[in-house]
Amino acid sequence: MKSKRFTAWATGISRSALSISFRLLLFNVLLVFLPVAAVLYLDVYEEQLLVSQEKTMVQQGRILAAALGGESSISRKEVEGFITNLAGRTETRLRVLDDRGRLIGDSSSPLSEQSYGIDEDMANVGKVSPRSYDSLDTVAQEVLGENTLLYRLATYPIRVYRKLFDPPVPVGDPDDYDARYPFQGVEVQAALEGRYGAATRLSSGGQRSVTLYTAIPVYNGDEVIGAVLSSQSTYRILKDLYNIRLVILKIFLASLIAAVIISLFLSATISSRIKKLGREARSISTGKGRISGSFTTMKLGDEIGLLSRSLVDLTGRLDRHIRFIDSLSRDISHEFKNPLAVIRSAAQMVESAEGKDKERFLTMIEDNTRRMESLLNGVEEISRLDSRLEQEEREAVDVDKLINGLLEGFRLRYPSLQWNFQTSGEKATVTASPERLSQIFVNIYENAATFCDNDSAIGTALFADRDKIRLTISNRGPEIPEEDLDRIFDRFYTSRDKGKEKHHGLGLSIVRAIAENYGGSVSASNGEKGPVFTLTFPEAGAFC
């Protein structure tokens, strides 16, 4: 029981995952999320900012080192002047050291002239305080984007990934330089040895950042007389990155909500309509070879609306075909009953009959057998007509030329009849199979010829409009009863008098089937001198 429930649950989940609604939602969410995930990382952007920051620090240090160089020793008054002028004009902390690494000046906490004593006075200089703007950043950290719940939730997977697979490069301890003692950092030692020095340390003041250090030697000729130590926290860069990420996350959240709403809308307008078509398809099929009901015609001009209209047309054609088969079977049963009854009776009588009676019964059997063969041939033709019409190649047929060719043959077959043809002179073409189009006119002409007396006339008139072709075929035979004007196109219907040639009533039904398949129509009426058949077809190119 549990396995069946699990199987049903798994099947439901798989169907939901394959549904159009779910795929639309997944596509919209991924479309929004993937660019955001890339931007959240922002490593390239951060690296470029850090490189730019270091270049700026180095440039400032070199300028100050060049300005202080060229003397036997660094002038404290000159340092104080530079530092005073730089106050508030740069975000880089600049410290000037002598050749033994002792602090001479600090842009973050300028020392008075009395504080520059090398020995006792230096002991009075306390630990250098953080820069003034560092304290402002520490306060600003309280509203930093990194501390928001939205940011922490969104970046949690990235933090876990970095912790497991991409741990940060270790950095030095926080800046513990004390103005009372010579600076011993690796970057300072490199500068005092005449080389460029750089180091990265954790920032002080509780900031979640690091501080970049660069040290530039100060020369007097080839002699190193001191160093310029530049330092700047990466806190401002991180702060901007956090804020950018937070804004992107807010945009992502709004886009995600919009994606869900759009997906729900698309689900309502697409998948629900497809499900409706599926339900209607299941309800239409009764399982007994019948069509019950029909599809709802959706009026929207999208693909699903087009699909619904196509299904309506398809079910209509299928229903007509099923009804055609049903009625054909009934008609065949009805038409075959009479000759079969005659054959059965004649076969029973022929055993006891003699002479002319026996010959008459045998003739009856032979005639009705031929009639049944003829019926079978006609039924076979009309039952396969639809499929053959769909498979046959069509071309633009010149109706004027086609009728003239047919009439030449009928004039030879029925020389006692007058075959007249009248045309408007305009070119008239129909997209059809030439053989099938000929079959229409042949059947009507044959039907008219059997009803006309000698020296009677059969007239054909052709009229061509812009998008339609109309033909009338009239004869001087007996009028068709009003109640039979529509019925004459039914299968096996005939109103011929006794003594006329045997016909099975399939010719005109074939005419109607072919004409309708080509987008045309056929009708019958009574004119002043006899029956008139009217045919209409779309002009070639107007019907697809």
Which CATH number is associated with domain 392-538?
A: 3.30.565.10
How far apart are alpha carbons 383 and 393 in whole angstroms? 19
pLDDT (tens digit, 9 = 90+) per residue, 61-90? 899 899 888 888 888 888 888 887 876 678
Model confidence pTM above 0.75:
no
pLDDT (tens digit, 9 = 90+) per residue, 107-134? 876 443 333 333 333 333 333 333 443 4
369's CB contacts (< 8 A; 6+ apart) are 339, 343
Mean pLDDT of 507-524: 86
In CATH terms, 37-246 corresponds, of 3.50.30.60, 3.30.450.20, 3.40.50.2300, 3.40.430.10, to 3.30.450.20
Q: Strand, coil or helix: what is 365?
A: helix
Q: Quote the tokens at residue 180.
A: 């009372």
- The pLDDT mean for the chain works out to 76
**According to the model, what pLDDT value does residue 223 have?**
92
| 285-294, 432-441, 483-492: range with highest mean pLDDT | 432-441
Q: What percent of the chain clears pLDDT 70, i.e. is strictly above it? A: 72
**According to the model, what pLDDT value does residue 314 have?**
82
How far apart are alpha carbons 67 and 78 in whole angstroms? 9
Per the DSSP assignment, residues forming a β-bridge with 454 are none
DSSP element (H, E) containing 459: strand 457-464
Fold (topology level) of 319-383:
Helix Hairpins (1.10.287)
**According to the model, what pLDDT value does residue 120 have?**
34
**According to the model, what pLDDT value does residue 191 have?**
92
Q: Which of 503, 496, 522 lies closest to 378 in space, CA to CA?
A: 503
Do residues 259 and 25 lie in contact, with contact meaning Cβ atoms separated by under 8 Å?
yes
| 23-27, 125-129, 169-173: range with highest mean pLDDT | 23-27
Q: Where along the chain do its domains lie?
A: 37-246, 319-383, 392-538
Long-range contacts of 505-508 (CB under 8 A, 24+ apart): 506/378, 506/379, 506/381, 506/382, 507/443, 507/446, 507/447, 508/443, 508/444, 508/447
Mean pLDDT of 307-335: 76
Mean pLDDT of 312-330: 76
pLDDT (tens digit, 9 = 90+) per residue, 143-166? 556 667 766 776 677 667 667 766
For residue 191, report the phi and psi dihedrals to the nearest 5 degrees.
-65, -40
